[in-house]
Amino acid sequence: MSAPLLDLLAVGAAGFFGAFVGAVAGGGVTVVLLPVLVLQVGIHQAVPITTLALVAATTSRIVVYRREIVLPVVWWFSAGSVPLTVTGTYLFTVAPPDLLTRLLGGFLLVAVVWRRLRPRPPAPFHPAWFLPLGAAFGFLTGITAAVGTLLAPFFLGYGLRKRSYVGTVGFGLLLIQAAKLAVFGGTDFLLPPVLVKGAFLLPFMVAGTLVGRKLLDRLPERAFVLLLELVMVTAGLNFVLRGA
């Protein structure tokens, strides 16, 4: 089997598994897919491709869990995240690849520590708290493709569980990815190779979401968390030490 075909199969498998985990745990697409793409095409192509894949994954999550989405949380979160995502994504387009790769590695490692510490959100926890949270996350995900696991303590602290958690986080992330795509389109980052690989991933993302939906209520979250953390630590250390 040729190397290009093996590369495509690796990307498709990573996309399917990332979407599957995202449908079960509310996040994981970036963690699984982005390291594979960075190693193949570099971070300046990997992030736009992952963004296209996330649009497919989050859209399918919204369709699947549409009845459980908590819209006030989505609106407050997006009001803060979308403007800062535009700012962070523009900085991404002008920053050197080596710096971005090391920053991504650092944030993957920070995300693991964050999950372990699981800081408590402020009490009482009104949806308006998602405005500053969205602003901070929007900037970070714009410049580093920061992973959605950083959001987990706050969305869980608000009381979202399983279907409502996955659907609500998915809707918020979709609006972020749409803002990123608008910047990438205006800065010539959506080149033909990026669009082709993004289109190639589409069926894998939808299939992973549908399979994940069927298993959401049956599989233990802890197994996925441990696997994701292993991937994050391995990729994070590799990117910090090696750069682009």
pLDDT in tens, 66-86: 888 999 999 999 999 999 999
The domain in which residue 216 lies consists of: 3-242
| Distance separating alpha carbons of residues 64 and 58, to the nearest angstrom | 10
Can you give the pLDDT at residue 67?
Answer: 87
| Distance separating alpha carbons of residues 188 and 186, to the nearest angstrom | 6
Our measurement of the distance from residue 26's CA atom to the centroid of its chain's CA atoms, rounded to an integer in Å, reads 9
The reported pTM is: 0.78
Number of domains the chain contains: 1
pLDDT tens column, 84-103: 999 989 988 888 878 877 88
Helix, strand or coil, per DSSP, at residue 189: coil
- pLDDT > 70? residue 192: yes
